[in-house]
């Protein structure tokens, strides 16, 4: 034993080594997510691919992030044996973090807005986590920091996502997409489309594309008037949203530290009603229900495809299916909830179907 080490230090290091090994074993057991292909008659010459991140064990893209955040905390000595864990989340990250906390035998608290879809809150509880709900004017991150000050490990997805993820490889989402496209006719996509919640996914994809020397461009699909679009235009992290959104997981009110503007080539803003219509269209074409942010991505994909065809271009566009749509059965997919919220996706459904089917758009 090192003269400066105590038995408790040795025990803590042994626990950390074991915890990291558990996370690596879990990653090895988790098969890669499917890349689904679609072609629409109204957009000939464009191949669409959808990375089905909802097929992760915890049902969303955030499974990758949660594992990375736990590994980052462990490898930096921030997470100790038996230490409670806390994070701020609108739901999907919290579900994944609760799952990994249970894997490591740790208690977990999610601080989330009270407006979070009820099914997400229930999923955190089912995994043994605790949810602390905040009001419309409260800051979940600030409350999570208060809890951490009492001894919990703050995973801090919004502050650490872009640095916790290995963007060079190690089966990150960008490497997985490019690898799965190798036998396709347009194996180097014209565009990859994703949303911006923490900024971790867009940072990972944008960095990886440059690392590989690829010509593929990156588009962020953003609910109308939210912080990333404002900040991207001015390269100002002090920018704030000018609207609110019901699309959970993306569309931040403030520009998060992980937003890397320089790796993003285009931002497409999408109204909430169009995002919901996009989610309905995905269900129609893919036979499964996905969340509102997946619909946001689809609308951006269709806009990019129209622009490519107008310029006489062919190619492929890749996007993400971010989480399971069943989590929004009592919100985005509930006609009564939509009516109470003053949202009518029907005109957008008609418009999007006209695009994919090659029909004249309704007046």
Q: What is the pLDDT of residues 114-155, one digit of tens each?
A: 999 999 999 999 999 999 999 988 999 999 999 999 999 999
Domains belonging to the chain, first-starting first, are 27-56+168-357 (3.40.50.1100), 62-162 (3.40.50.1100)
> How does pLDDT run across 44-103, given as a tens digit for each residue?
999 999 999 999 999 999 999 999 999 999 999 999 999 999 999 988 999 999 999 999
What's the CA gap between 307 and 202, in Å, rounded?
Answer: 22
> How does pLDDT run across 168-196, given as a tens digit for each residue?
876 689 999 999 999 999 999 999 999 99
Distances (CA, A) of 126 to 22, 79, 122, 130, 131: 21, 23, 6, 9, 11
User: Cβ atoms within 10 A of the Cβ of 329, count?
Assistant: 15
Give the per-residue pLDDT at 217.
98
pLDDT band for position 362 (50/70/90)? low
- CB burial class (10 A; 0-12, 13-18, 19+) of residue 89? buried
pLDDT at residue 259 is higher than 50: yes
Read off the pTM.
Answer: 0.93
pLDDT band for position 1 (50/70/90)? very low
């Amino acid at each position: 034993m090192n003269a400066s080490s105590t038995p408790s230090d040795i025990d803590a290091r042994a626990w950390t080594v074991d915890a990291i090994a558990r996370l690596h074993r879990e990653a090895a057991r988790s098969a890669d997510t499917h890349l689904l292909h679609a072609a629409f008659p109204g957009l000939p010459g464009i191949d669409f691919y959808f990375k089905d991140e909802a097929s992760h064990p915890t049902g969303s893209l955030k499974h990758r992030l949660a594992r990375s955040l736990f590994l980052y905390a462990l490898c930096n000595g921030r997470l100790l044996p038996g230490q409670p864990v806390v994070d701020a989340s609108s739901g999907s990250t919290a579900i994944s973090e609760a799952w990994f906390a249970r894997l490591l035998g740790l208690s977990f608290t999610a601080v989330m807005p009270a407006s979070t879809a009820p099914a997400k809150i229930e999923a955190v509880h089912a995994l043994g986590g605790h949810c602390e709900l905040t009001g419309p004017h409260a800051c979940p991150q600030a409350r999570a920091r208060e809890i951490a000050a009492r001894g919990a490990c703050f995973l801090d997805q919004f502050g650490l996502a872009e640095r916790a993820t290995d963007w060079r490889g190690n089966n990150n989402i960008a490497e997985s997409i490019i690898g799965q496209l190798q036998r396709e006719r347009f194996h180097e996509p014209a565009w990859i489309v994703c949303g911006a919640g923490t900024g971790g996914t867009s940072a990972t994809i944008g960095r990886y594309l440059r690392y590989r020397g690829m010509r593929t461009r990156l588009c962020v699909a953003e609910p109308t008037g939210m912080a990333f679009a404002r900040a991207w235009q001015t390269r100002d992290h002090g920018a704030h949203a000018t609207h609110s959104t019901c699309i959970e997981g993306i569309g931040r009110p403030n520009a998060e530290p992980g937003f890397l503007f320089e790796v993003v080539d285009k931002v497409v803003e999408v109204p909430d009603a169009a995002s919901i219509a996009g989610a309905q269209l995905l269900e129609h074409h893919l036979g499964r229900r996905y969340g509102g942010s997946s619909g946001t991505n689809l609308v951006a994909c269709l806009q990019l495809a129209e622009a490519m065809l107008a310029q006489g271009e062919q190619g492929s566009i890749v996007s993400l299916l971010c989480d399971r749509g069943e989590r929004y059965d009592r919100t985005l997919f509930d006609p009564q909830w939509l009516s109470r919220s003053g949202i009518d996706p029907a005109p957008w459904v008609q418009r999007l179907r006209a695009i994919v089917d090659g029909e004249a758009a309704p007046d």
